[in-house]
Structure 1
Amino acid sequence: MHICLILAPGFPVLTYVLLREVISIANAQAGQALFSVEIRTVTGAAANSIDGIEISPDRMDWSDPPGWDLVILCAGAKPLHRLPMGLRGFLARAEQAGATLAGFDGGVTILAALGYLDGYQAVHPNSTTEEEAEILARVASCGQIFSFDRGRLTAKSGLAAGDALLAWIARVLAPDVAKQISDRLSLGRFREDGDTRHLPRAEDPVLARMQSIMVTHLGDTLPLTQIAFDLDLSPKQLRLRCRKGLGQTPTQVYLKLRLDRAEQLVRDTVLSVEEVAQATGFTSPSAFTRSFKSHFGAPPRVIRKTAPDNRSRPN
């Protein structure tokens, strides 16, 4: 299946990294190239992320290799600046060929501005200008972190975009395939020494659901009162049940999930410490570094330097 990822200047790098990681894991799990990815940019030239990381396009025009299955617009602030004339026609041809049109963060605004969300429900970006808000007012807002409404897939940036892509994979392939990718992405990672780290297995289905909720909200952390409410428990009942079933408090389980994801991002991505902290729900880089060092015995920058694949990546 063929995916076209269109980047706008100022795109969120975490979203880009997670999308590529989900696709890479899917192909590795299958032992074959289930998905191919072609990168294009709104400008036709190399695009810089909001953090200054430059990504070059695979193609610099709007010609159409056949068979797009998913076209993703990934943008940050000011997504409507200098939209090219060829983009609308490209999206129209992709839609006519049966492709799902997706917008993540500012990409939602682009789809709305071009009329591709009229009559659809979508996730609105967190931050918009007055002009963008007027455009998005025509589109029904979804209160979830992502929305899959017929042939439209929309999400906020970061982890929500990864969840959205998994939902699409579950739809076009199988839910089991998406679950396998999610398990490897969220709860563990195969290491060269053969060790795969996971949370304690929850035999209690309520605790398994608790873990699932927490995994879905690693960056936008939920208060435990909200998680307990979603599980139809009081906070005290949840604490007692968690201690009995997992030998840990819900707070400890949640923190371990966030730190394990943070360690994965430190080792396997180009994200800065500040970006990893934000992606895993820490209020500041210093608070993140303290928790990380306490849990792993070394600060993030030291762990990154010891990871062979990341030695040339920025801290």
Structure 2
Amino acid sequence: MIASDLRLPKSDNLTKPAAHVGFLLIPDFAMLPYVSVIEPLRAANRLSGRALYHWSHVSIDGEATAASNGVRIQTDYCVGTDAHFDYLFVCAGGNPALFRHAPTFAWLRRLARLGVTLGGVSGGPYILARATLLTGYRFTIHWEHAPAFVEDYPDLDLRRSLYEIDRDRLTSSGGAAPLDMMHALLAREHGSALAMAVSEWFLQTHVREGTGPQRMPLRERLGIAHAPLLRVISRMEQTVENPVSREDLARLADVSLRHLERLFRQHLGHSIGEHYLALRLDRARDLVRQTSLSVLEIALACGFTSASHFSRTYRARFGKAPRAERLHETPER
């Protein structure tokens, strides 16, 4: 599709100056969601035949910032710059729960007061929450960061969606989901014709709604087609903190406990208790790596009754105790 194919509505957008989009790159940011935001902007310029957007990059210190895959992006500004932005996207990955940099939070709050539309992709919403900029907004974050986020901010309106556009906050769960968010943003700003042209240019034959799920259905993720068993596993994933008894799970599947145990052995190769324990320990490992919660707090949040029992079980599964695995907090710069 070329620019002349587009039937853009006549509006003030035709004479508006190009919107300035900033990208705040937090060290170890995720590359794919960053690219999934910036590339639709480039495509919008190309396909419309006009400079609708231009962009700049910001880092904590003004130096090049490395993504989680090691690729370094040269930046134009450092945090605190007085450059004018219409939008600013916070790009983060890795361990955003451990990011502590007061000047960054203060600068983001100043941008919000100036009316800049703020976005966050992948772990970026964690940074916005640290800056107290998500109160009163609905938003989303990558599912990997969600357990730690809920422990830190239980009262904020976190949705488990692909993306959320709520007034002047744009958040996406990460991965390729920003492509869907940018489709919605381009449609809002410049009309559906341009948004569809951009999506087609990237071979995006299906544009997902923001409320869509972040993860594959259990049926596909586990390769299981047994509906009652899937119903049980779904309940188990939702009740890591307060595990449901095996008897209640059997009632949920409408089978005997003995038969449910056979289903677990047949389809998953382990028992109900082993599956529940694996879910709880995987959740615990996320909290160990991404939060500063104490070992006891993590144990209780994952359905263990004591820190000592939790630590022994954790070591047996992962080969090291929780304290030995805990990452050091990112130092302030």
Shift of 1:115: 0.8
Amino acid at match of 2:187: A
Greater relative contact order (CA < 8 Å, ≥ 6 in sequence):
2
Aligned with 1:145 (options 162, 168, 178): 162
Distance 1:124 1:186, change over 3 A: same
Distance 1:78 1:44, change over 3 A: farther
Over aligned residues, Cα RMSD in angstroms?
Answer: 3.0
Counterpart CA distance in 1 for 2:61 and 2:112 is 21
Amino acid at match of 2:129: A
Aligned to 1:30: 48
Aligned to 1:179: 196
Matched, 1:16 2:16: no
3-state secondary structure, aligned to 1:125: coil
Deviations 1:161-209 (A, max 9, x none): 222222222223323222221121234xxxxxxxxxxx7xxxxxxxxxx
Deviations 1:211-238 (A, max 9, x none): 5559x99x9656999xxxxxxxxxxxxx
* Contact 2:27-2:66 at 8 Å conserved across structures: yes
Amino acid at match of 2:200: D
Aligned length: 201
* Contact 1:109-1:136 at 8 Å conserved across structures: no
Distance 1:133 1:144, change over 3 A: closer
Aligned to 2:111: 94
Identity of aligned residues (%): 26
Counterpart CA distance in 2 for 1:181 and 1:124 is 24
Shift of 1:156: 1.0
Within-5 A mapping of 1:192-207: none
Aligned to 1:270: none
Amino acid at match of 1:110: I
Unaligned regions of 5+ residues in structure 1, if any?
188-198, 200-210, 226-315
Distance 1:29 1:224, change over 3 A: farther
Aligned to 1:249: none
Aligned to 1:309: none
Counterpart CA distance in 1 for 2:29 and 2:94 is 8
Q: Which has more radius of gyration?
A: 2
* Range 11-20 or range 114-123, more displaced: 11-20
* Contact 2:65-2:72 at 8 Å conserved across structures: yes
Counterpart CA distance in 1 for 2:146 and 2:103 is 24
Counterpart CA distance in 2 for 1:172 and 1:83 is 34
Counterpart CA distance in 2 for 1:153 and 1:213 is 16
* Contact 1:15-1:158 at 8 Å conserved across structures: yes
3-state secondary structure, aligned to 2:96: coil
Distance 1:15 1:33, change over 3 A: same
Amino acid at match of 2:199: S
Distance 1:114 1:125, change over 3 A: same
3-state secondary structure, aligned to 2:78: coil
Distance 1:168 1:213, change over 3 A: closer
TM-score norm. by structure 2 comes to: 0.54
Amino acid at match of 2:80: W
* Contact 1:64-1:90 at 8 Å conserved across structures: no
Aligned with 1:103 (options 120, 136, 149): 120
TM-score norm. by structure 1 comes to: 0.57
* Contact 1:112-1:135 at 8 Å conserved across structures: no
Unaligned regions of 5+ residues in structure 2, if any?
1-18, 221-333
Deviations 1:230-252 (A, max 9, x none): xxxxxxxxxxxxxxxxxxxxxxx
Counterpart CA distance in 1 for 2:208 and 2:123 is 25
3-state secondary structure, aligned to 1:186: coil
Amino acid at match of 1:180: A
Aligned to 2:68: 50
Amino acid at match of 1:53: V
Aligned to 1:169: 186
Distance 1:126 1:103, change over 3 A: same
Shift of 1:83: 3.5
Counterpart CA distance in 1 for 2:161 and 2:149 is 20
Within-5 A mapping of 1:106-145: 106-128=123-145, 132-145=149-162
Deviations 1:35-78 (A, max 9, x none): 01110123432211111111121113422222x22110010022
Counterpart CA distance in 2 for 1:51 and 1:88 is 25
